[in-house]
Amino acid sequence: MTKVSISILDCDFGNITSEIKKINENKVDFIHIDIMDGKFVENNTEKLFDLNKISLLTDLKYDIHLMVNDPLDKIDSYTKYNPDTITIHFENNSNLMASINKIKKHKINVGVAINPDTKISEIYDILDEIDIVLVMSVNPGQGGQRFIINTVDKVKALNERKNKNNFLISVDGGVNNTNSKDLLNAGADILVSGSYLVKSNNLNHSIKSLLIH
């Protein structure tokens, strides 16, 4: 069953209570939190998300995406929120296996994200060590970007590896109802969608539209 993770990077943080209330009233599986350090990407969102407050507003699990250089020392800041998943990047991570093992130690699902320019073959040797591959379908750093079409081919190629490795495929960036069908047919298990959902006038309808094969 495909799951939907709503990225709240583009939500109205001045009205976060009503934004989270709207999410709670619709069928979303996870809240996707984009943590950026201003180094891995230009934006810095480390102080944007008040996870203590958001945790009081929802029972939904977090899907935390660390877009940071060498995330090893930052992981502990987010394990306390008991997220479903913490995803780190393959790129700019000299402590990749140590980061993976640190997340595992907390019994949290481990995700590894790859940027559009990264070949999936570069992560084949760690597929047995992780729970999720997050395929970036835009260049990381900001919401509202256009979906990169060859992402579908990456998802297909990863899906063929599932017979050998036990992992889920997630896609993040520009995901909407014009590309979701192709992603689902290619083998995506989790769709991360931001502006398409956050800015929707009918969130329930928009969520359903992502899941139509």
The residues annotated with a catalytic role in the active site are: 34, 172
Exposed/middle/buried for 26, CB within 10 Å: 0-12, 13-18, 19+?
Answer: middle
- In sequence order, which residues have a C-beta less than 8 Å from that of residue 114 and are 6 or more positions away? 89, 90, 91, 120, 122, 123, 133, 134, 135, 136
Contact between 175 and 137 (Cβ < 8 Å): yes
Residue 51: Cβ within 10 Å count: 17
Q: Which helix H or strand E contains 193, and what residues bound it?
A: strand 190-193
Q: Which residues pair with 36 in a beta bridge?
A: 67
SS (H, E, C) 54-87: HHHHCCCEEEEEEECCCHHHCCHHHHCCCCCEEE
Distance CA 141, CA 147 (A): 14
**Running DSSP on this structure, what letter comes out for residue 145?**
P
